[in-house]
Amino acid sequence: MKVLFHTSGGDGAAWLDALSRALPEATLVTWSGLPIPRLDYALLWRPPPALLSSLSDVKAIFNLGAGVDALVTLPERPRNVPLIRLEDAGMARQMAEYVAHAVLRRYREFDAYALLQKEAVWQPRARLPIREFEVGILGVGMLGAAVAETLSGFGFPLRGWSRTQKALSEVRMFEGSSGLGAFLAKTRLLVCLLPLTPDTRGLLDRAALSELPRGAYVVNVSRGALIVDEDLLALIEAGHLSGAMLDVFHDEPLPASHAFWHHPRITVTPHISAVTQIVDSVTQIATKIRRLEAGEPVSGVVDDTLLY
């Protein structure tokens, strides 16, 4: 069995070491720019189009991350080959930690207390009852479900929105375009966890964000292109939104000149809400390859009909 590995990141040696341990029966190869004959599987992160177009005969392509938007939009991707994404692989817990921090930081007003500390002001603030602080999770897939489970433990009332009808314990669910407005209307803190597709790109524009109640707060941990930056900034400046905590952006790294860096009511982190764990990811990939070799089904196969 011959497995191609390629990543545009700087952690290739760590991936290859983990893969050689988890898949000792495989011959691991890397791409040098020339075609590689008789490949069985390809494990990729942000591959060049020339590499992608040469993979029409492999049994499956594994994306080395949960988000597949950068890969599925490339016209060179062979549509006859199953594309398999990472599921969890240590990311769900990280995402739940990040979002819980963002929600608690906002609910307990730690930013306001930080400003008071700078002025040496001792001033306890009246706290909103937790039953009135509704958290809305936009996208309730694997990561959204993990976030909901964690937040429910603190007692926050939860709202969820998905493209199609879903049921999630402790979450009041809304679905489809007809349910988006009602979902947003009472969401005091919005957590963005949708994948990036043509339907979700720019979904959170001025019109959608304006449906949030006055003083709402936005947390984006999925893809920067879900939000129209100028509209978010305008609504914060106008006082309709109280602020945002952003981990993902249209352009990454976020340009130093971008207004998000310097806005007093926006917190920026460098796409660290859920970092891919190499060993966990490789273990998952090895298990799926062995299932495919045995003729058994695997989960995580990307459904192209949901992306276009």
| Reported confidence tier of residue 85, pLDDT bands at 50, 70, 90 | very high
| Reported confidence tier of residue 306, pLDDT bands at 50, 70, 90 | low
- What's the angle, vertex CA 286, arms to CA 302 and CA 299, rounded to 5? 30
Same domain flag for 84 and 9: yes
One-letter amino acid identity for 260? F
Same domain flag for 55 and 103: no
205 with 192: CB under 8 angstroms?
Answer: no
Same domain flag for 104 and 162: yes
When divided into structural domains, the chain yields a total of 2
CB environment 40-53: b (16+ within 10 A), e (fewer)? bbbbbbebeeebbe
Same domain flag for 85 and 95: no
Nearest to 217 by CA among 237, 239, 242, 235: 242
Percent of all residues in the chain with a pLDDT value above 90, rounded to a whole number: 90
φ/ψ of residue 245, rounded to 5 = -120, 120
pLDDT value of position 308: 40
Same domain flag for 117 and 238: yes
Q: Is a pLDDT exceeding 90 seen at residue 215?
A: yes
pLDDT value of position 208: 98
Same domain flag for 97 and 40: no
If phi > 0 it is left, if psi is from -120 to 50 it is alpha, else beta; for residue 29 that is: beta
Q: Is residue 126 classed exposed, middle or buried when 0-12, 13-18 and 19+ CB atoms within 10 A define those classes?
A: exposed
Averaged pLDDT, 238-258: 98
Identified catalytic residue from 223, 258, 262, 291: 223
φ/ψ of residue 277, rounded to 5 = -95, 115
Q: Are strands 266-268 and 241-246 parallel, antiparallel or unpaired?
A: parallel
Residue range 151-168, pLDDT digits in tens: 999 999 999 999 999 999
pLDDT value of position 151: 98
Same domain flag for 237 and 143: yes
Domain interval for residue 247: 91-268
Asked whether the bond before 47 is cis by omega within 30 degrees of 0, the reply is no
| Reported confidence tier of residue 9, pLDDT bands at 50, 70, 90 | confident
Same domain flag for 107 and 252: yes
**Low-confidence winner among 4-13, 110-119, 142-151, 288-297 (lowest mean pLDDT):** 4-13
Q: Is a pLDDT exceeding 80 seen at residue 307?
A: no
Averaged pLDDT, 135-158: 97
Identified catalytic residue from 101, 258, 271, 290: 271
Same domain flag for 99 and 199: yes
Tell me the chain's radius of gyration from C-alpha atoms.
21
Consecutive H or E run containing 3: strand 2-7
pLDDT value of position 8: 86
CA dist 205 to 96, 212, 231, 233, Å?
25, 11, 6, 11
Same domain flag for 115 and 261: yes
Q: Is a pLDDT exceeding 60 seen at residue 64?
A: yes
3-class SS string, 142-189: HHHHHHHHHHHCCCCCEEEEECCCCCCCCEEEEEHHHHHHHHHHCCCE
Same domain flag for 200 and 293: no
Residue range 30-54, pLDDT digits in tens: 999 988 999 999 999 999 999 999 9
pLDDT value of position 96: 98
d(CA 293, CA 226): 37
Told to judge if 223 belongs to the known catalytic residues of this protein, a careful annotator would answer: yes
Same domain flag for 183 and 288: no
pLDDT value of position 223: 96
Residue range 169-186, pLDDT digits in tens: 999 999 999 999 999 999
**pTM score:** 0.92
Residues 6+ apart with CB under 8 A from 36: 2, 4, 29, 54
Q: Is a pLDDT exceeding 50 seen at residue 111?
A: yes
Averaged pLDDT, 277-288: 96
SS3 10: coil
Averaged pLDDT, 44-72: 91
| Reported confidence tier of residue 226, pLDDT bands at 50, 70, 90 | very high
Look up the CATH number of the domain holding residue 21.
3.40.50.720
